[in-house]
Structure 1
Amino acid sequence: MSSFDTDVPVLLLRLDPRPVHHGALGAVRSLGRAGIEVHAVAEPARGPLGRSRYLHRMHELPAGPVSHAGLLELLRNVSEGIGRPAVLIPLDDRGAIAAARLAGPLLGRYLLPAQPAGLPERLADKAELALLCRELDLPHPATALPADARQAADAAGELGLPLVAKWSRPWLLTPSAGLRSTTLVRTRDDARRLYELTERAGSALLLQRRLPGGPDTDWFFHGCFIRGGACPIGGSGRKERAWPPRTGPTAVGRRLPDPQVERAALRLAGHLGYRGILGLDFRRDAHGRYHLLAVSPRPGARFRLFTDPSSGLDVVRALHLDLTGRPVPIADDPLPFLAMTGSWLRGGLRRGAYRMRTAPPGSTPLPARPLPARPLGVSQRP
């Protein structure tokens, strides 16, 4: 096992008011068993997370919504209590987005991966993800972003019923809104009525062609990208069961190598310069294409599936090693994954060099095009 800098504690941050999932408890246990002092900001304090023997201290969130300024003050106060810089690991999308926004003001108090500003928010936004998949030519279900209720009904007819409706920024949903992040739409009127709840949801409504589920259709990737873009621990897996059934997080998963899933994850992370822990969810269609459905810029419930049996390394331990300047050991059987990484990076450098040679003098990259109200075409290449 690698030698951890046990003088550097960890603060786990979870802002989601829903019950803590088992991935959070796994992070506490993994880091605590490595001899690292683990703190957590989460609610409720009396839940499973707060009762773990490996948690040094729970710092409870105040009741109600926490503002940007309020979270900054809370994290500063927690830092004062810890007494030395700590690795900050968000455990949900809301926490990952908040931590990235506060990276500057928290400099010197917390250690965070260096990456482009606003990247976790871009990845967690479903509308941005649809644009990103088109930019990278990654398969993604045909998606429409209606501008009014009539367009929502029309898009439902064009995409085909039943279809999937998603709120583009699900972390903005509050329990009082009474809305689910994902809904199955069965009629045009359902789509129209759902659009009329946009203001309550706090973000745009997306309508997406439904990909049928079934055995062997739901796949995922989980990994940690460190300095230089390497991914020393991670890989692909298949979701066997979910809770709630069919729509919830992975309850039972299996680690299974899949080149298409791993190649897509490397393309995405390499293109964006992503650093830190990353989870991706895919659904395989009847033609064998893996459509990217969601990206999570933080540890997920299944990260312990990718623990290296010889070193005990997992994504949260790898991140702590990397951010504290310790070497991150290469995981078991890395050669196929490293070969794939090298192939993708070499291809990316060649394409970048070609674009620089052929770009007109003084030109700048075009911004991403807005997502149209009409359905996007589905990419054909994995």
Structure 2
Amino acid sequence: MRTKILLVTTVNWPSAARLAGAFANLGAMVEAVFPRGHVLRLCRYLSKAYRYRPLDGAASLSEAIVAAKPDRVIPCDDRALSLLLSLSEFSPLLETSLGPRGAYEVLTARAPSIAAAREIGVCAPLTLAVESRATLRDALYEVGLPCVMKADGSWGGGGVKFVSSFGEATRAYDELEGPPNRLRSLARAMMRGDAHFLLEARNPLPSRVNVQALVPGKPATSVFAAREGQVLAALHMDVLSWSGDTGPASLMARVDDPVMQIACEKIAKRFALNGLIGLDFMRDAQGAPHLIEVNPRATQICHLALNADLPAALLGALARDPVTTGRQIALFPQLLSAGILPHTIYQDIPYDDPAVLAEVAGALLPEAEALCEIGEFLRPDYAPPIHRKSA
């Protein structure tokens, strides 16, 4: 019997469509719950779609789970993870898919997750939760300046400030901690067509702010698939280029790093994790990786088949053929603004899902629209090839 995967996403990131393709190519039945207008609506790999309602998020996820009866649910963003964890009626499914609920009370909070990692011997910078504006000076004294300030509940590079003085830290704290302005939230809801901002306008809540010792260096990242606390497969990458100061990576280089591998194994074992997990690091001047953040959900590179295949490992299937034997990988859609790239860099463009490609790339990739006109891709009975490694 085919494994049924239910992808859960509340943010219009194309990585969810890439993950759908990866699981479908491995023989899984893939269904998804997502908001109106999400690029997943065009994904050729979905067997069924369910509507996510931002103003009634938990209920819409519950309805999708009841209807889909999945073997695993996979959150593709932090909000989706938070909503899933609120559905206590599905505890057995969530534990099979994610791990113990109690683990995520730690993993979804920045300071406790890093503290737990340090306790089990993972190299990570001191990270403290700031209880109030009055305790900010004490926290800064412990971690030192310059440092990084981060708000819980933020993602995609948002909610992060680099500060080098107490004055900067105070201003950053006020900005990160303060509840969103109601009028600004309403304006964002209208301009972006995202009803989540209506929730912020209706019930603006403060955020927990954390301070983290600064690790000068360059970012790196790991992703792994786990079952019952054991790492089944992992990928480790150095980040060569990214958007803004803290935005998503656009160019990565695959690395073999035993320290990052051990960190994955320790985190997975400590929290008895299941599913797909991401870890973010900073690599210092000596090349040592320091864990700076845990992302306990699927990230933008989980679909890639390289020297490891995370979706295959999670399904217990034979790995797909690697998409490239090269080290450097340009990520979609960020690569669209990178100009002409050397042929030695693998460009991770979803040519296999032309409607998704055309929606995201638009005029930046003229061949995308041409692919949509190829009848074979649009046939209802079209079955994508499954690439296997020989035994």
TM-score interval for Structure 1 and Structure 2 normalised by the shorter chain: 0.5 to 0.7
The one-character-per-residue Cα deviations of 1:124-162 (angstroms, maximum 9, x if unpaired) are 210112321331232222334333334324544664443
Whether the 8 Å contact between 1:138 and 1:264 is mirrored in structure 2 is: yes
Q: Which residue of 2 aligns with 1:372?
A: none
Counterpart check, 1:99 vs 2:84 = yes
Task: Give how far 1:276 is off.
Answer: 1.7
Task: Name the aligned partner's letter for residue 285 of structure 2.
Answer: A
Asked if residue 181 in structure 1 is aligned to residue 176 in structure 2, the reply is no
The alpha carbon displacement at 1:12 in A equals 0.6
State the one-letter code of the partner of 2:236. Answer: S
Q: Equivalent of 1:37, from 15, 24, 29?
A: 29
Q: Deviations over 1:233-290 (max 9, x none)?
A: 2132211222x23411222222211111111111221222222211111112234432
Tell me the equivalent position of 1:374. Answer: none
2:235 aligns with 235
State which of 131, 134, 141 in structure 2 corresponds to 1:147: 131
Contact 1:85 1:111 in 2 (8 A): no
Per the alignment, residue 311 of structure 2 pairs with: 316
**Where does residue 107 of structure 2 map in the other structure?**
123
| 8 Å Cα contact 1:163-1:186 kept in structure 2 | yes
Q: Which amino acid aligns with 1:12?
A: L
Aligned-pair identity in percent equals 25
* Superposition deviation, residue 56 in structure 1: 2.7
**Cα root mean square deviation, aligned:** 3.1
List structure 1 segments (4+ residues) > 6 angstroms apart after TM superposition. Answer: 108-111
- Structure 1 position 109, deviation (Å): 7.4
The letter of the residue matching 2:61 is: L
Q: 1:195 aligns with which of 170, 173, 176?
A: 173
How far is the alpha carbon of 1:193 from its aligned partner? 2.9
**Which ranges of structure 1 fall in alignment gaps of 5 or more residues?**
174-178, 322-326, 333-382
CA displacement at 1:295 relative to structure 2: 0.9
Contact conserved, 1:10 with 1:88, CA < 8 A, in 2? Answer: yes
Aligned residues: 296
Of structures 1 and 2, the one with the larger relative CO (CA 8 A, separation 6+) is 1
TM-score (norm 2): 0.66
Aligned partner letter, 2:24: G
- State the shift of 1:166 in Å: 0.5
1:52-67 map, 5 Å = 52-64=43-55, 66=57
- TM-score norm. by structure 1 comes to 0.67
Q: Give secondary structure in 1 for the equivalent of 2:101.
A: coil
Given that residues 123 and 290 in structure 2 are in contact (C-alpha distance below 8 angstroms), is that contact kept between their aligned partners in structure 1? yes
1:323-378, Cα deviation, whole Å (9 max, x unpaired) = xxxx455899xxxxxxxxxxxxxxxxxxxxxxxxxxxxxxxxxxxxxxxxxxxxxx
Work out the CA distance in 1 between the residues paired with 2:253 and 2:112.
29
In the other structure, the counterpart of 1:293 is: 292
Q: Deviations over 1:102-140 (max 9, x none)?
A: 2x5126878833732232342121011232133123222
Structure 2: gaps of 5 or more residues: 180-204, 322-391
Q: What CA deviation, in whole Å up to 9, does each residue of 1:15-60 have, x standing for no partner? A: 34xx31x3212111112233433221122x3332221111233322
- Deviation for aligned residue 1:218: 1.9
